[in-house]
Structure 1
Amino acid sequence: MRLPLFPAHSHHSSPSILQYSSLTLLPTTTTSSSATSGARRRLRWPRMDSSSSAYHRHRRKDKVVVIVGATGTGKSRLSVDIATRFPFSEIINSDKMQVYRGLDITTNKIPIHERLGVPHHLLGEVNPQNGEFTPSGFRSRGGSIVSDINSRRKLPLVVGGSNSFIHALLVDRFDPESDVFDGSSSTSISSEFRYNCCFLWVDVSLPVLSDYLSKRVDDMLDSGMLDELAEFYDPEAKDLEEDSAHRTGLRKAIGVPEFDRYFRKYPPPRGMVKVTDPKEEDAYEEAVTAIKDNTCQLVKRQIGKILNLKGAGWDLRRIDATEALRAAVTSENSGTNNKKWSEIWERQVVESSVKIVKRFLKE
């Protein structure tokens, strides 16, 4: 299941682009001299080399809102909700599978109609045939996008569950040869950022999130995930069946290796895949169970990395979405179409997040 779409809001209290357009401007001042009384002029920073320490102490950092959280917690939904309240926002995807073109259902990309016209960057833009899109590559591409968005006096929202991408993009000094999350690196997680960051951490209790993700996998399969994977299946990749270390790009996406094993036993026909044979059905259910189990394992790894970031001094503002997702699952199980869960989401998740972002923009 996917968190249902909410309509765009246009509350009179929502900030306008004019209200915060000064975010990327140099400060101004009013002089009281007789020659320039009442006139406003731009303050000019002293000229200095951009690599000097004085420059880094005094330069004004771009503002960035960052939404982190495990898969399935509603980050994409929240990013669009925030962008409708702050209509000068643009979203930068930081999910390492969703950056690639293809497998839209399997990687759970937010559909175009649910983006509500909000610009999205690095969502299905990278050609998977070009090899692995690394954290270093994301830092370069993402950094250019952040600079472009800020140069147009708009607000970048960095959203996704790939904490290695988020770390690479945000820290002031990044070592592409070191993985700060693998536990063996001598390089620690830095809390010095090259941007002025506001962090929102969308969190859901593990039992509730597991129930939600199980239903989401079922819904993805109902939406055509099996046919998508059948078309993507490469029978020549047999040697990579169990060797995940040699998988690259989209071949790492959860769902690909699980159904690769299934398709090797039961090669997909042309056209729609139909499971009818009892043995084939058992193999199919085995693949689905593996997808659900591996998704839950991914969630645990993501939460571990988020806790590492928080322990390193990242100011992650926790937003608890447990009650909203519990209500969504309950509503789905009972077959009802009540709005209770959406009211909880609005009150406990969206409103809390908007307040934090408003304060951040006014700083």
Structure 2
Amino acid sequence: MDATFHHRHRRKDKVVVIMGATGAGKSRLSIDLVTHFFPFSEIINSDKIQLYKGLNITTNQIPIEERNGVPHHLLGEFDPANGEFTSSEYRRRAGELITDITSRRKLPILVGGSNSLIHALLVERFDPELSVFDKFDELSPTIQNELTRLRYECCFLWVDVSFQVLSDYLLKRVDEMLDSGMVDELAEFFDPESDDLDYDSAHRSGLRKAIGVPEFDRYFKEYPPLLGKRGCYRVGEDRVQKGAYDFAVRAIKDNTCQLAKRQIEKIVRLKRAGWDLGRIDATAAFRAMLDGGGRWSEIWEREVLEPSVKIVKRLF
């Protein structure tokens, strides 16, 4: 247990927290909020894979040109060669950022899908040996309370999309990532000398945990890319190779949807544990986008952005 418990009576810093499953529009919402309504804000990443440098397409990092000049912290900053970035380390680094941002009279906005990091950062007392997501109901009420009491004054925005609509979107997004150069990026990242190529390895760390890496490591073991030839990887006409490629893509799509399901389950767990999560239903906006996108922005603004602004304004 750490010493933050002894400071719970101090005035708490205010933090906006945008949560949601992968692909639910968290980054889009954060940029919209800062650009249009809360310009004196800075964003702190809470996606544990996006902490690391590299694989920007595979990890779906928001491109610099889409950030509208909004400062982003802990996004692509850490060298994966230095090992795993732990929840305890994230708590320390992100906590320092919140202190710094608020000291400059700006609003920290926490954005990302790694609910374990969000929990580690926000709770007053953090014990890495205890998890609010694992057998929480079996713990005593006292321990439950210790695991969920917040050290900040938080405004939670849970961007939710019906799972079927979100799944359809995630399948589409994987195809778009592949069209944007994801395979070339993974081919360059592939290390044939690595001893960490087991598809089911429990020992992967850092970027090697990113969905897409283990799936294509297996593929590249059979059909190695040409080293140093970024941009030239092509799937041949051989039916067996094409089948192996399609298998890797299907695995990425399946694993992405499973990740979204687990993330939603964790968010529901936090809500049941007492966190006051303001649920924003983005289903209609995503359905419109999948149907052609004609009214997507209009629906997004009306049903996602405007309700989010109202919730955030309650913090002030």
1:80 aligned onto 2:40:
no
Aligned-residue RMSD, C-alpha: 1.7
Q: What's the CA shift string for 1:136-187, capped at 9, x where partnerless?
A: 1110000000000000000000000000000000000000222332337855
Contact 2:197 2:218 in 1 (8 A): no
* Superposed structure 1 runs of 4+ greater than 4 Å apart: 50-53, 184-187
Distance verdict in 2 for CA 1:69–1:131, change over 3 Å: same
1:283 aligned partner: 244
Q: What stretches of structure 2 of length at least 5 have no aligned partner? A: none
3-state SS of 1:133 partner = coil
Structure number with the bigger relative contact order (C-alpha 8 A, sep ≥ 6) is 2
* 8 Å Cα contact 1:66/1:157 also seen in 2: yes
For 1:8, the equivalent position in structure 2 comes to: none
- State how far apart, in whole Å, the 1-side matches of 2:304 and 2:155 are: 16
Question: Which residue in 1 is equivalent to 2:279?
Answer: 318
Deviations 1:314-335 (A, max 9, x none): 0000000000011111116xxx
Amino acid at match of 2:50: Q
Determine helix, strand or coil for the equivalent of 2:202. Answer: helix
| 293, 298, 301: which one aligns with 1:343 | 298
Distance in 2 of aligned mates of 1:166 and 1:52:
17
2:131 matches 1:154: no
CA distance in 1, matches of 2:86, 2:193: 25
Shift of 1:238: 4.7
Percent of matched pairs sharing the same residue: 67
Structure-to-structure mapping, 1:24-103, within 5 angstroms: 56-57=8-9, 59-84=10-35, 85-103=37-55
The secondary structure found in structure 2 opposite 1:244 is coil
Alpha carbons 1:91, 1:156 under 8 Å: kept: yes
8 Å CA contact 1:240, 1:246 repeated in 2: no
Q: Is the 8 A contact 2:196 2:204 kept in 1?
A: no
- The alpha carbon displacement at 1:127 in A equals 1.0
Moved more, 116-125 or 323-332: 323-332
d(CA) in 1 for partners of 2:278, 2:255:
27
1:130 to 74, 82, 85: 82
* Conservation of the 8 A alpha-carbon contact between 1:92 and 1:159: yes
Number of aligned residue pairs: 304
What is the CA distance between 1:210 and its match in structure 2? Answer: 0.5
Normalising by the residue count of structure 1, what TM-score does the alignment of the two structures yield?
0.81
In structure 1, the gaps of 5 or more residues are 1-49, 333-337
When structure 1 is superposed on structure 2, of 172-181 and 344-353 the one drifting more is 172-181
Q: Taking structure 2 as the reference length, what is the TM-score of the superposition?
A: 0.92
Partner of 1:209: 166
Deviation at 1:279, TM superposition (A): 1.4
Does residue 145 of the first structure (1) align with residue 101 of the second (2)?
no
